[in-house]
Amino acid sequence: MVTSETFILFSLLILGGVGALAYILLRQIKNLKTDLKGEEDSVLTQWLKEMKSSMDRNTDTLEKQLQNQRKTLDEQLKGQRDAMGQQTKVLWERLENATNVIGKVQEHLGGINELGKDMKDLNDILKSPKLRGGLGEQFLYEILETSLPHDLYKTQYGFKNGAICDAVIFTDKGIIPVDSKFPMENFKNMINAKEEEKESYKKAFLRDAKKRIDEIADKYILPEEGTTDQAVMYIPSENVFYELIVHSTKVEEYARRKNVLMTSPNTFSFFVKTILVAYQQHEIEKNAKEILKSLGGIKVEAEKFGRDLDTLSKHILNSYKNMEKVSSSFADLFGRIERVQSIGGGEKLMLKEEIREEN
């Protein structure tokens, strides 16, 4: 019985302890929930404050960026407005210039028509072999005049056989004859002919060129009159020259055998410049001996001047030494005189005797 009561009592105590423990745990859990809720509220409040502060900072930064972008955009818009204004100004100036140019073009249209008439007249002139030859000679003279000194060439040079060459160039090797030839007639026919007729006109054109080469070789290569063994054929047209050199190489070979050099305006200008360079080199070589001789005379005079200068230097040095000696003696004598003046008359007599003895 006692045991049952004890057991019941013990069980009640245990149940009471468990209940008390449960109660305490429930209170602690409730308090913990309250604390956690307070901490959550505190953390949430802190987080909200930080979020607000961050948003404020971001808002300030965003406003500053917007202000900077607005300022930059304003500057860009201003620059674009200025650039557009400048471009508009330039455009108006160009339009004005274009208007002026159009006006001038309209004014010169009449001149162009006149030029067309002049070109037609020139074409008519070129149809005449004599006038065409005169024009070629004029081109030749202009190249010589602008490229060589006047004493290095002569136009319309006459030989003893009665032949008159368009021009000659004087060199240390002899006289170089230069004659202008313009085999143009059959060349024009060849260019304008139909395909089946071109070959016959080309043969006629080449025959004309060979005839001109023969004329130059026979009439102007005259070594007995001081010419070189070569002459120059000046062809005033680059097209004609190109046809003879490139498309008709046999003519060039024929000219080479005849000692005739075919040239165009461009190649003749180069040839003349080569002559000028050779002339200048020859003049330098010719004057070299005179220059060396003059330098030798200058050297002799310089050596003589050096000897005279050495003698004069010695004389000046000796005179300087004598002058220095006299100056020293005079200073010593002047010192003695001053000493005598500062003492009595007896010493003056002694000074006079010393002066006599020295003299």
- Owning domain of residue 214: 128-263
Q: What is the mean pLDDT of residues 21-48?
A: 63
Confirm whether 225 is domain-assigned: yes
The answer to whether residues 228 and 175 touch, using CB atoms and an 8 Å cutoff, is yes
At position 140, the amino acid (one-letter code) is L
Is residue 112 one of the residues assigned to a domain? no
Name the pLDDT band for 88 (thresholds 50, 70, 90). confident
Q: Is the pLDDT of residue 348 over 60?
A: no
Whether residue 243 is contained in a domain is answered as yes
Structure token pair of residue 132: 């065409």
- Tell me the average pLDDT across 46-75: 71
Q: Is residue 100 part of a domain?
A: no
Which two tokens mark 14? Answer: 């245990």
Share of the chain above pLDDT 70, in %: 54
Average pLDDT value for residue range 151-155: 94
Q: Does a structural domain hold residue 45? A: no
Mean predicted confidence (pLDDT) in 97-103: 69
**pLDDT tops 60 at residue 237:** yes
> For residue range 271-317, what is the model confidence (pLDDT) as tens digits?
999 988 888 887 777 766 666 676 666 666 666 766 766 776 676 66
- Beta strand pairing call for 260-263 and 231-234: parallel
* Nearest Cα residue to 263 out of 255, 217, 156, 201: 255
pLDDT of residue 34: 63
The residues that bridge with 262 in the sheet, in sequence order, are 233
Angle of CA points 148, 274, 264, to nearest 5° = 85
pLDDT in tens, 113-148: 444 444 444 444 445 455 555 677 888 999 999 999
CB 207 within 8 A of CB 254: no
Q: How many domains does the chain have?
A: 1
Residue 276 in any domain: the answer is: no
The verdict on residue 17 lying in a domain is no
Average pLDDT, the chain: 74
Burial bucket for residue 248 (CB in 10 Å: 0-12, 13-18, 19+): middle
Find the CATH number of the domain harbouring 238: 3.40.1350
Determine, yes or no, domain membership for 309. Answer: no
**Average pLDDT of the segment spanning 97-125:** 54
